[in-house]
Amino acid sequence: MQPRLPGEMSIVTFVVVLSTLATCGLFSQAVIEAAGREPWRFVVGTMAALLVAALQGRLMWQSARREVTSGSRIMLGVIALVCFPLPLLLGPAWFSAMFAVAGMIAVTLPENWSVPLVGGAALLASGVALLAGASGPQAVLLAVSFPVVALSAYATVWLSLAVKELRDARAELARRAVGEERMRFARDLHDVLGHSLQAVALRAELAERLLARDPERVAGELAEIQKMARGAVQEVRDVVRGYRVTSLRTELDGATAVLRAAGISCETPLLPDELPQHVHETLGWVAREAVTNVLRHSGATLCRMTLRADGPDARLEIVNDGARRSEGAGSGLAGLRERLAAVGGRLQSGLIADGTFQVLATVPLAEGAAGQKEGR
């Protein structure tokens, strides 16, 4: 079970509350000590703590939402002007207040500014501590702690931004997956309906021509049209369900029958034994689309289909005459190239002679060949 990422507002609110509590902790001990001494120290210290906590919360909110502006730098300056003089005015108990400056520098300014400024602020804090009566080791510890506090604040904001980017990346992957599935569905629907409807149209035209002189033949053609239409409906249902498996043998037999019905001379090629399923499915789509293009875009009288499985690849070649210059245009062949690329195959198509068009599809017999090629 994958962990559920919180929403952006929840993350930002958590970061702001956590950092504000940490800032209040920097002032808490000094405020408590001042409460039992002179009242003015308690009042000044409390007001300074509330001001710094409020400004710090605002800066963390802006940083976690990538909304840092020039006004944010002004607030950073105010925090620095409040925190650095406090140990000199109110005593050594307020040393920790200066750590708020380190954290806000890290989250407000870009890295090329914040790194040197944190180092300078650490040296300034050491000097203030020495002037306020701190010992040498205390001043050194204060300077060393400054980068640690700055890094902690930076990491807090960075993690919140990283979670937001992760959510955005998940949303983008989901959108891409939906888009790819739509493209796959559109391609499958085009391949299925394009071929089936073209075959139905050809049978209907043939029946119309034979209506007057051969009624018995017309009855047979009408029965075949009904069979094709029912098959097309089932194929569309299978595409919608997403489990349609194309058989190369079925596609080649159907292609031959349709071509012959259209008056195009064609022979069913021999099918090599034990072709892998991915070859059956991919080349089945090639045969379907290529034959649809022959029927739709050419005035062919001859179509030759050749299938070979020698060496590492299976190759299906479909050549027809009567091709026009515009043959091959449209989304069908582009969809085939996508299918073949998914299994490491290739598609070549185009005019090879005057009026002769070739479609040559190559598919690796090894199903993992696509990943091996990408790996190289």
Find where tokens 């060393």 sit: 144
Q: Are 323 and 358 in contact (CB under 8 A)?
A: no
**What is residue 330's predicted lDDT score, i.e. its pLDDT?**
55
Q: Which two tokens stand for residue 153?
A: 């604040």
HSE (side-chain half, CA atoms, 13 Å) at 179? 6
Residue type, 248: L
* Backbone φ, ψ for residue 133 (5° rounding): 105, 10
| Rounded Cα–Cα distance for residues 222 and 204 (Å) | 7
What residue ranges of the chain have pLDDT lower than 50?
A: 1-2, 327-329, 370-376
**What is residue 361's predicted lDDT score, i.e. its pLDDT?**
92
Among 126, 148, 147, residue whose Cα is nearest residue 135? 126
| Rounded Cα–Cα distance for residues 48 and 162 (Å) | 33
Among 307, 311, 257, 319, residue whose Cα is nearest residue 282? 307
CA dihedral 191, 192, 195, 198 (to 10 degrees): -120
**What is residue 171's predicted lDDT score, i.e. its pLDDT?**
67
Read off the DSSP letter of residue 115.
Answer: H
The domain 245-376 is classified under which CATH number: 3.40.50.720, 3.40.50.10490, 3.30.565.10, 3.30.420.40?
A: 3.30.565.10
| Rounded Cα–Cα distance for residues 202 and 198 (Å) | 6
Q: Which residues contact 72 (CB under 8 A, 6 or more apart)?
A: 59, 62, 63, 108
Gap between the terminal Cα atoms of the chain: 34
Among 303, 298, 310, 292, residue whose Cα is nearest residue 268? 303
**What is residue 181's predicted lDDT score, i.e. its pLDDT?**
59
Per-domain residue ranges of the chain: 8-171, 245-376
| Rounded Cα–Cα distance for residues 217 and 204 (Å) | 12
| Rounded Cα–Cα distance for residues 106 and 50 (Å) | 21
Q: Are 270 and 249 in contact (CB under 8 A)?
A: no
DSSP secondary structure letters along 287-318: HHHHHHHHHHHB--SBEEEEEE--TTEEEEEE
pTM above 0.95, yes or no: no
Read off the DSSP letter of residue 265.
Answer: B
Read off the DSSP letter of residue 68.
Answer: -
**What is residue 184's predicted lDDT score, i.e. its pLDDT?**
67
Tell me the β-bridge partners of 347. 361
- Whether the CA torsion 167, 171, 176, 177 is positive or negative: it is positive
Ranges of beta strands (E only) in 55-207 are none
